[in-house]
Chain A
């Protein structure tokens, strides 16, 4: 992410005599579009970028007039650009949405408090109300506390599970009809690959859905499903949007996971590969003989779950009982790890870490 921002910052200023925009043929080209490699001017880039997102929203019927929509806001580039663009499109195309920002405070000193300051500024700049829910309020534990209890390994699992649920709970609290997140095309392509690599057929079948949880109380939408990460950075740069770009201090290496690196290499070689991966994910047909987990609700907190207790309650139970590693890894793997001893456990943990994307697991 830092490197992306830096790459954006290093874009050379338009040179005298440089070629004209291939779209309007009038202004000087200011950039080469990451998705298509077309050389276009700044104004055309804004139009194309926003219009593609608009088309995605319309063609997938993401919203209905009058809906109250929570924008998951982390202060990072994706959610900042999402808040800005959604606000613009809502105004330009009269979606009629009641938009507000919803942030989750994980309780990471030196990281989340700074990023939330960014969201508070966004609240003022974009005129969107902001609501913050915290792990401390919901679970009684901050991430700082959790890391003290279990160390750096696997803390991303806790954070990913808690954050997803926290967003849903915050949205319910504020009576939202929909949640939108800033997951972009790169994120989704990465998730498709990770699910293939991990053999997770259940997630593979749904990780490309632009809307998830339609059967649940608050559906969750990804308007940036087909939007490239580099273009989001570029848009933020040219629009001079205020965002926070430091990586999480508890997972500094997550950004450099194998799959992420692979996707960046692919993108350099063939820009459309990211969309092609998403298209593949959309076209996979799961064999009907494969048993898919059934959806139900957690008997303790009522959250959606395929088990008796949802993942968050299992993890929370472990924390509260002083057994934080309870719930890490599947039951079968856990049992085997015990019998095989330390060597297997160590290898298992190392294996898990390299296949995490940024910020740990994607719980699409």
Chain B
């Protein structure tokens, strides 16, 4: 069950507005998009209808705007080989506009695939299957949000999903505390305790996001899913770019802003990578897609500050988020930011296969050391620190600590070093088991050469 992974933006990132600000932001965004093309005709279908939105500098009617966004979604999926016919896809659903659109679009792709499959004679390839997961975070939410409102939201999600046919789709409600599956003690209490130990507001926020991803991984692994699809959009990614920069994670940042992330046991894909939150909000309005504003918690701390900053930049220049994204995409991605397993691309349409075959040929080994807590690849200085600690570590706690990146060290580990042991003991066991395994491997090597070591006082 051990899953190493990265701190990508969770579904919550897909909508950066607070519940109260959501409606205002939507009204503003609609107003702004509409104003630019007031009374103008659609630039795409040439006079087919009044323009309601501007995307990519062109005024579009509702139908063309929708097709434009769907086209971006589909292009992301196909050009990055996100979904194969044999895949079982788990969509992370938060109820926000972005994941709602992602659900709608992936459902439409599935529907079309089913129709093609039924119409074809060969029926050689299956159609990918789809499930939906909602992470229930009631146990870490403040009392300001009553449990029964979340329950009502969950029922809404079930009805939305059951209304999408053809193609059966299971709904998985994943309580966050289920990540703490080992042992028989009270999981919710343990979750509360470990989160409570983190004194930095931003650190708590990032830690909960990490748990959310682990929760999705758990659901996926237990139910046979082969991909996890997030509703993270361009706006959320832009916020993450700045947040990671502010936290000193410039080295690791590219890992979280690509379309594909295979650090996880179940790879994570971001099909709405190129769509703006503003566009997705507008589409939900146009198509009357019901969203759950209730579940949108405002980011706090550094993340909240970054969110406000990006909103302000967007108001001033609507393409700023894309510029930030483009900058980040010029940074070097990691080997796990693409699919490279042998034979992975075999099911692709023949016209796409040559592109990926070149990638397969250049396959390189995944050799990054990842942070124990957030899964970020270690920078050179962090690696040096880790190597030094391995040489002289007397306690497991020291190894665990050295396996945390500098950002997590500062904002997630307790300020008092004597609290480290307590903190690590609260974590789900499979987190520290990876370090134990690596440490055991190192000890084993040491044992083999122990007879030849001169310094007899040295010993773990």
Contact B327 A196 (CB under 8 A): yes
Q: Does B442 contact A (CB under 8 A)?
A: no
Q: Does A116 contact B (CB under 8 A)?
A: no
Q: A197-B313, A275-B248 are in contact. Are A287 and B253 (CB under 8 A)?
A: no
Q: A196-B242, A285-B331, A290-B330 are in contact. Are A280 and B248 (CB under 8 A)?
A: yes
Q: A258-B309, A276-B247 are in contact. Are A286 and B320 (CB under 8 A)?
A: no
Write out, one digit per residue, whether chain A residues 252-286 have a CB within 8 A of any chain B CB (1) or not (0).
Answer: 00000010001001100110110111011111111
Q: State the Cβ distance, B5 to closest chain A Cβ, in Å.
A: 21
Q: Does B246 contact A (CB under 8 A)?
A: yes
Q: Does A300 contact B (CB under 8 A)?
A: no
Q: Does A36 contact B (CB under 8 A)?
A: no
Taking residues whose C-beta sits less than 8 angstroms from the other chain, chain A's interface range is 35 or more
Q: A197-B320, A262-B305, A272-B410 are in contact. Are A284 and B242 (CB under 8 A)?
A: no
* Residues from chain A with Cβ under 8 Å of B406 in the complex: 279
* Residues from chain A with Cβ under 8 Å of B302 in the complex: 266, 269-270, 273
Q: Does A351 contact B (CB under 8 A)?
A: yes
Contact A199 B332 (CB under 8 A): no
Q: Which residues of B contact A (CB under 8 A)?
A: 202, 241-242, 244-251, 253-254, 301-302, 305, 309, 312-313, 316-317, 320, 323-324, 326-328, 330-333, 379, 406-407, 410
Contact A266 B332 (CB under 8 A): no
- Separation of A129 and B410 alpha carbons in the complex (Å): 45
* Residues from chain B with Cβ under 8 Å of A204 in the complex: 327
Q: Does A332 contact B (CB under 8 A)?
A: no
Contact B331 A197 (CB under 8 A): no
Contact A286 B249 (CB under 8 A): no
- Separation of A272 and B330 alpha carbons in the complex (Å): 26
Q: Does A143 contact B (CB under 8 A)?
A: no
Give 7 nearest A-B pairs by CB, closest first. A280-B250, A276-B248, A283-B251, A283-B250, A285-B332, A279-B248, A280-B245
Q: State the Cβ distance, A161 to closest chain B Cβ, in Å.
A: 23
A to B CB contacts below 8 Å, 6 in the list: A195-B327, A199-B327, A258-B312, A262-B309, A266-B305, A354-B316
Q: State the Cβ distance, B122 to closest chain A Cβ, in Å.
A: 39
Q: Does A188 contact B (CB under 8 A)?
A: no
- Mostly, the A contact residues are helix
Q: Does A62 contact B (CB under 8 A)?
A: no
Write out, one digit per residue, whether chain A residues 189-202 have a CB within 8 A of any chain B CB (1) or not (0).
Answer: 00011011111110
- Mostly, the B contact residues are helix
Contact A277 B332 (CB under 8 A): no
- Separation of A199 and B202 alpha carbons in the complex (Å): 26
Of A279, A283, A351, the contact of B316 (CB 8 Å cutoff): A351
Contact B331 A284 (CB under 8 A): yes
- Separation of A190 and B245 alpha carbons in the complex (Å): 11
Contact B250 A270 (CB under 8 A): no
* Residues from chain A with Cβ under 8 Å of B317 in the complex: 351
- Nearest opposing residue in chain A for B57, CB measure: A340
Of A192, A270, A272, the contact of B245 (CB 8 Å cutoff): A192
Q: State the Cβ distance, B16 to closest chain A Cβ, in Å.
A: 15
Q: Beyond the given A201-B330, A262-B309, could you list 8 further A-B residue pairs with CB under 8 A, ordered by the A residue number?
A: A196-B245, A201-B327, A270-B301, A272-B410, A276-B407, A280-B245, A282-B250, A287-B332
- Separation of A199 and B323 alpha carbons in the complex (Å): 5
Q: State the Cβ distance, B8 to closest chain A Cβ, in Å.
A: 17
Contact B333 A287 (CB under 8 A): yes
Q: State the Cβ distance, A356 to closest chain B Cβ, in Å.
A: 13
Q: Does A331 contact B (CB under 8 A)?
A: no
- Nearest opposing residue in chain B for A192, CB measure: B245
* Residues from chain B with Cβ under 8 Å of A290 in the complex: 330
* Residues from chain B with Cβ under 8 Å of A192 in the complex: 245
Contact B251 A285 (CB under 8 A): yes
Q: Does A18 contact B (CB under 8 A)?
A: no
- Separation of A188 and B184 alpha carbons in the complex (Å): 51
From A192, A196, A265, A275, residue with most partner B Cβ within 10 Å: A196
* Residues from chain A with Cβ under 8 Å of B320 in the complex: 197
Contact A197 B316 (CB under 8 A): no
Q: State the Cβ distance, A266 to closest chain B Cβ, in Å.
A: 6
- Separation of A156 and B182 alpha carbons in the complex (Å): 62
- Separation of A265 and B251 alpha carbons in the complex (Å): 24
* Residues from chain A with Cβ under 8 Å of B305 in the complex: 262, 265-266, 269
- Nearest opposing residue in chain B for A340, CB measure: B57
Q: State the Cβ distance, A279 to closest chain B Cβ, in Å.
A: 4
Q: State the Cβ distance, B327 to closest chain A Cβ, in Å.
A: 5
Q: Does A61 contact B (CB under 8 A)?
A: no
* Residues from chain B with Cβ under 8 Å of A276 in the complex: 245-248, 407
Q: Does A330 contact B (CB under 8 A)?
A: no
Q: Which A residues from 271 to 325 make CB contacts under 8 A with B?
A: 272-273, 275-277, 279-288, 290
- Nearest opposing residue in chain A for B322, CB measure: A199
- Separation of A340 and B226 alpha carbons in the complex (Å): 48
- Separation of A279 and B381 alpha carbons in the complex (Å): 11
- Separation of A195 and B328 alpha carbons in the complex (Å): 11
Of A193, A262, A280, A286, the contact of B332 (CB 8 Å cutoff): A286
